[in-house]
């Protein structure tokens, strides 16, 4: 089976000059060959020229080349879409970043009179992550329970039954973005998903980005996602409502590139709101975290965007201020790719070096 996984490397559509994108293809192939992925795709652009390529197989039983235009679950990159909607509402004067969430959702969040909207957006609220509870993480195999439907307030009930220790540390928590999804609904009278579609997907023409709700499947074409338990099992189909506004969305590399370019290019929010999004707090996790944006320091400068994980799929969508972008989807195999492998690809894409 694993021999089949190494037989495909599809390179280049519109090729960049030299390093950058062209150097990414062999790195994708290495990850597949070392059982870090069953499939992988990447798209690298400098704003004028674009490289896209894939490695691995679409299906470990039937083979087939992954499509560079394939759909994938983007996991927590969803948070950047939600944060963008919230900052647009800030621009419209419907909410302020330093207002307590209790002002808009009274009585919903324990300590909500002290937790501001900003603290939800940058994960400094110190709210317990409901996905830390057994059976509540879409990053782990859940058997038939993966088709169950969840409601946002049901997830918050799980989260608010626990408290984090008062350790003064930064804590990434999916709970924050479930609360933010409800905040969007309260302020607009529409679901967070409809606001994402109305404010971002339709204006930008992101026709291949989906807010799936209770839909279990991934649109075609796509590479299947697997989970080792310990043999690889097909984890592609699942009800993503357990992630909701924290990570349910599906997209493509081209759509994510367009979204990040529009956002970081100042086309979706005011300049002040974008500055707020790009003001990171220290996390101790190898990156800074702004308002729905991660900041990674590479040898050639800082890149902005977000990563995402949802069982069977890893996503990375980043852009530099010079206009270069890299979007990558990896379907893990018997192991997840290491941080060193992923950041090595980022260095090649953005810096044009081996790092």
Angle at 327 between CA 335 and CA 51, to 5 degrees: 110
Residue 271 in contact with residue 90, Cβ under 8 Å? Answer: no
H helix count then E strand count, the chain: 11, 13
Backbone Cα Rg of the chain: 19
Q: Which of 350, 342, 346, 315 is nearest to 36 (CA)?
A: 342
Q: Which of 201, 346, 195 is nearest to 262 (CA)?
A: 201
Is 76 designated active site? yes
Helices (H), the chain: 19-22, 24-33, 78-91, 117-121, 152-160, 174-188, 192-196, 202-204, 253-264, 271-277, 339-351
Catalytic residue among 45, 52, 67, 76: 76
In DSSP terms, 139 is beta-bridged to none
Give the CA-trace dihedral at 283, 288, 294, 296, to 10 degrees: -120
DSSP-assigned letter for residue 198: I
DSSP-assigned letter for residue 222: B
Query: What is the rounded distance in angstroms from the CA atom of residue 286 to the CA atom of residue 292?
Result: 16
Residue 37 in contact with residue 31, Cβ under 8 Å? Answer: yes
Query: What is the rounded distance in angstroms from the CA atom of residue 246 to the CA atom of residue 137?
Result: 11
Classify 110 in phi/psi space as left (phi over 0), alpha (psi -120 to 50) or beta: beta
- Residues belonging to the active site: 76
């Amino acid at each position: 089976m694993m021999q089949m996984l190494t037989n495909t490397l599809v390179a280049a559509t519109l090729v960049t000059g030299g390093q950058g994108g062209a150097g990414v293809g062999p790195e994708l192939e290495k990850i597949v060959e070392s059982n870090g992925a069953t499939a992988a795709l990447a798209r690298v652009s400098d704003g004028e020229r674009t490289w896209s390529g894939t490695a691995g197989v679409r299906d470990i039983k039937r083979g087939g080349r992954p499509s560079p235009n394939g759909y994938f679950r983007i996991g927590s990159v969803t948070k950047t879409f939600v944060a963008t909607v919230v900052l647009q509402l800030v621009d419209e004067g419907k909410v302020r970043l330093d207002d307590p969430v209790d002002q808009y959702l009274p009585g919903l969040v324990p300590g909500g009179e002290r937790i501001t909207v900003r603290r939800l957006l940058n994960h400094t609220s110190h709210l317990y992550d409901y996905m830390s509870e057994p059976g509540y993480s879409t990053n782990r195999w859940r058997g038939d329970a993966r088709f169950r439907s969840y409601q946002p307030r049901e997830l918050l009930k799980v989260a608010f039954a626990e408290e984090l220790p008062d350790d003064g540390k930064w804590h990434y928590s999916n709970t924050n973005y479930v609360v933010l999804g409800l905040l969007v609904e309260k302020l607009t009278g529409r679901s967070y998903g409809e606001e994402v579609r109305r404010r971002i997907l339709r204006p930008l023409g992101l026709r291949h980005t989906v807010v799936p709700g209770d839909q279990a499947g991934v649109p075609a074409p796509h590479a299947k996602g697997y989970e080792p338990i310990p043999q690889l099992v097909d984890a592609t189909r699942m009800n993503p409502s357990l992630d909701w506004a924290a990570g349910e969305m599906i997209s493509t590399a081209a759509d994510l590139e367009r979204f990040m370019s529009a956002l970081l290019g100042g086309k979706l929010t005011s300049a002040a709101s974008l500055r707020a999004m790009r003001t990171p707090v220290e996390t101790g996790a190898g990156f800074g975290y702004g308002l729905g944006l991660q900041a990674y320091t590479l040898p050639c400068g800082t890149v902005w965007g977000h990563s995402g994980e949802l069982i069977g799929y890893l996503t990375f969508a980043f852009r530099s201020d010079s206009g270069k972008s890299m979007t990558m989807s990896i379907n893990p195999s018997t192991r997840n790719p290491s941080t060193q492998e992923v950041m090595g690809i980022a260095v090649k894409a953005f810096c044009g070096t081996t790092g």
